Amino acid sequence: MVSIPTWFIYALLGAIFAAFSTIFAKIGLQEINSITVTTLRSIIMAIIIFIIFILEIRNINNLFNLSNKDYIFVILSAIFGALSWIAFFYALKIGEASNVSIIDRSSFLFVILLSIIILNEDLTIQKAIASILMFIALILLVV
């Protein structure tokens, strides 16, 4: 029997949740400014995540055991995450959900590139070919 890695299951769930999030946001953006939607969404998400954080009491200790380097990279991740959401929701308000989502999900191409440059990860022939094919697919889907 084939064993599916846990990370794959969570990644797939994340993709499914992101799809629903995009559709619901597009519907919600009909009458509301994209920054307002992003702000409300962020507040609601923060509340949900905080509740889960509190329910898993062992996480509280982790909060106080972070190094300065950890805090810096969490802050940088939050800044770029916020900028990503602002750009995404503005694009979603004025564009078609399917096209905006396709371009937004192309972030994996940037992750591959940045992981090679910053994290010194290997670029395998499979990743290179798949990236080229996915880039071509993105162009075909949006144009």
Nearest 5°: phi and psi at 118? Answer: -90, -40
Average of pLDDT values for 115-141? 93
Which pLDDT does position 128 carry in this prediction?
95
DSSP secondary structure letter of residue 33: -
Task: Give residue-wise pLDDT tens across range 18-67.
Answer: 888 888 888 888 888 888 988 999 999 999 998 888 887 776 777 778 88
What is the per-residue pLDDT for 72? 93
**What token pair was written down for 69?**
């380097």
pLDDT given for residue 121 in this prediction: 93
The gap from C-alpha 143 to its chain's centroid, in whole angstroms, comes to 23
Predicted TM-score (pTM) of this structure: 0.79
pLDDT digits (tens, 9 = 90+) for 62-116: 777 888 998 899 899 999 999 999 999 999 999 999 899 989 989 999 999 999 9
- Per-residue pLDDT at 54: 81
Cα angle for residues 35, 40, 43 (degrees, 5° grid): 125
115 by Cβ neighbours in 10 Å (0-12 / 13-18 / 19+) ranks as middle
